A and B are shown apart, each in its own frame.
Chain A
Amino acid sequence: MIASRVSPHRRLNSIIINSFAWLILIALALPAVWIILTAFRSNSEINASPPVWIPREITFEAFGNMFGLNPNLQQRVAVEAYMFNSLFVALSSTVVSVAAGTLAGYAFSRFKFRFHTAAFLMLMLSRTVPGVALSLPLFLLFTRLGWTNSLVGLSFVYVAINIPFAIWLMDGFFRQIPRDLTEAAYIDGCGYWSAFWRVDLPLALPGLATAAIFAFLASWNEFQIVSVLARNNASKTFPPGLFTFTEQFTIDWRGMCAMSVLMMIPAIIFVILTQRNLVRGLTFGAIKG
């Protein structure tokens, strides 16, 4: 039935659209591909002119150096610690900020209350301040509280940083859900809470997934605050860890690329698992007639 309606013209159109989309995405991915390839190159190819595009030989040397498998190197990099700290901080702050942000976003989208606009504006304002302005006062505060060099303290900061974004996103998504659906739930005997839990929340799942992705990546990649609050390897995450490869005048580009690859694997897995929930038109056909 449906197939017979697709005209040859339409099919050609969709082939053009698909290939054009692929072309753009591949172009956008090129710098990333270069970084990944560099992690596996031999040292002579790294800064070669003319550039060597496809590596002539694949070597895991850089990874071996990082994990301390090279007996000639005195120092080794605390990758395992960075990995654990990054995962702990990013996952815990994502869960808490998305949960808190969803509740607040629902309140903003569905209820009118005093200071509604003022509260919303205040959230936006907290987004105007970069980590560099927060890091020093936070360091002074956290020193008093004994929260420096602590993963929980760091996670606490990231929750606060991610909440405003989660609230806006969820507010936007809840607004897109037709009011009639929520009201139908009330008529069917749902209270506020169960209408939220059973009707609105499942429909806003794409928003939830988006908020989780952004929160995770923001915490995963944050640099300014962690570099001030975390002074030892027991609490450092990957971004300050990258500085292991810089010396005063030179940078070990290959080592840095290798760590970048390692750093991106968990992020990619998280995004792939989460973005399955971004689906089209969940409310399709919910209100008819």
Chain B
Amino acid sequence: MLLPSFVFIIIVTGFPLLYSLYVSFTPYELLKPNSLIFELPKALNNYTRLLNDPVFWKSLGNTIIFLTVTVNLEYFLALGLSQLLAQVTRGQAIMRTMLMIPMMFAPILVGFQFRWFFNSNLGLVNNALVSLGIIGEQTRIAWLVDEPLGMICIIIATIWMNLPVMTIILLAGTLSLPQETYEAADVDGASAWQKFRFITLPLLAPFTYIALTIRSLDVARAFDIVRIMTDGGPARRTELIWTYAGRLAIEDTKFGLGSAMSWITVIISVGFTVYLFRQLVKSRIVE
């Protein structure tokens, strides 16, 4: 039963990963085909170079901040929204469809649109603020340029697009919980808060961890939105690990260095994933 899935995964993700692991030990540059040589004494050159690269550490720090803020905010908003929607008696189907609207936007489309909204000269946000008299024509805010506004704009765009994902997982989870438990709680005279705190939240734990894991992994590999909105700039203020890895490998054509960057990132993600996975297993045991 597992075979079909693993065939696909091994070809599409297994092969590129192993290939880039090999390349990461070579000084390979795309425009110099002869540079794909493996020499044992120089094998770790790319890795030591990155660990001494301040931009690498800057992008790692940016990613951690971005990840923490985005996933936490998203979780609390989604938990609230999913519980609200689960209570809705009329028009839940329409609401669910409406909720999914942001999801239907391609990440690069969201990037383009929010870049436009936050544009300092012709963007909707500044135009609205100027016409409301909150800022003057001369003091337009450089949303995507100033620190930390650029990062905040990216976080807003990311949350806007992905809130539905988390909400739908939590909502689907809530709807699949056994109704009998709630009926028993009603008989015992439990308050709404007690039902939420002692029934919904613990029973939802497996869904919560799945949602958090998926979203953390997604946010950690954020690329499209940032690439379009700020492209990591200005002056690396919004550079994330994958935008930096992509820049090294594709734009600077230093495929070897970029692959080393990818592998460092993958190893960090592995640690993180194992941690989340343990939590998931734990939540099942409690159940």
Which A residues are within 8 Å of any B CB, using their own CB? 14, 17-18, 20-22, 24-25, 28-29, 31-32, 34-35, 47-51, 97, 99-101, 103-104, 106-107, 119-138, 140-141, 156-157, 159-161, 163-165, 167-169, 172-173, 175-176, 206-207, 210, 213-214, 217, 220-224, 238-239, 242, 251, 253, 256, 260, 263-264, 267-268, 271-272, 275-276, 278-281, 283-284
Contacts of B2 in A (CB 8 A): 103-104, 107, 119
> If the complex has contacts A124-B273, A132-B242, are A210 and B12 also in contact, measured as CB distance less than 8 A?
no
Contacts of A50 in B (CB 8 A): 127-128, 130-131
Q: B127–A223 contact, CB under 8 A?
A: no
Question: Shortest CB–CB separation between residue B251 and chain A, in angstroms?
Answer: 11
Q: A217–B104 contact, CB under 8 A?
A: yes
A133 to B220, CA, bound (A): 13
Q: B108–A132 contact, CB under 8 A?
A: no
A17 to B6, CA, bound (A): 45
With both beta carbons as reference points, the residue of chain B lying nearest to A167 in the complex is identified as B5
Q: A32–B103 contact, CB under 8 A?
A: no
Contacts of B277 in A (CB 8 A): 120-121, 124
Contacts of A20 in B (CB 8 A): 84
> If the complex has contacts A28-B101, A124-B277, A164-B9, are A21 and B242 also in contact, measured as CB distance less than 8 A?
no
Q: A100–B90 contact, CB under 8 A?
A: no
Contacts of A167 in B (CB 8 A): 5
Q: A28–B97 contact, CB under 8 A?
A: no
Question: Shortest CB–CB separation between residue B65 and chain A, in angstroms?
Answer: 18
Contacts of A164 in B (CB 8 A): 9
Question: Shortest CB–CB separation between residue A260 and chain B, in angstroms?
Answer: 6
- With most chain B CB atoms within 10 A of its CB, the pick from A131, A161, A163, A169 is A163
Q: A275–B165 contact, CB under 8 A?
A: no
- With most chain A CB atoms within 10 A of its CB, the pick from B178, B207, B210, B265 is B178
A51 to B273, CA, bound (A): 45
A134 to B180, CA, bound (A): 47
Q: B104–A267 contact, CB under 8 A?
A: yes
- With most chain A CB atoms within 10 A of its CB, the pick from B95, B116, B218, B266 is B116
Name the interface residues of B173-208: CB closer than 8 Å to any CB of A. Answer: 173, 175-176, 178-180, 206-207
Contacts of B20 in A (CB 8 A): 133, 136-137
Q: B5–A103 contact, CB under 8 A?
A: yes
Contacts of A123 in B (CB 8 A): 5, 9
Q: A134–B5 contact, CB under 8 A?
A: no
Q: B9–A133 contact, CB under 8 A?
A: no
Q: Quick one: which of B89, B175, B178, B210 contacts A168, CB cutoff 8 A? A: B210
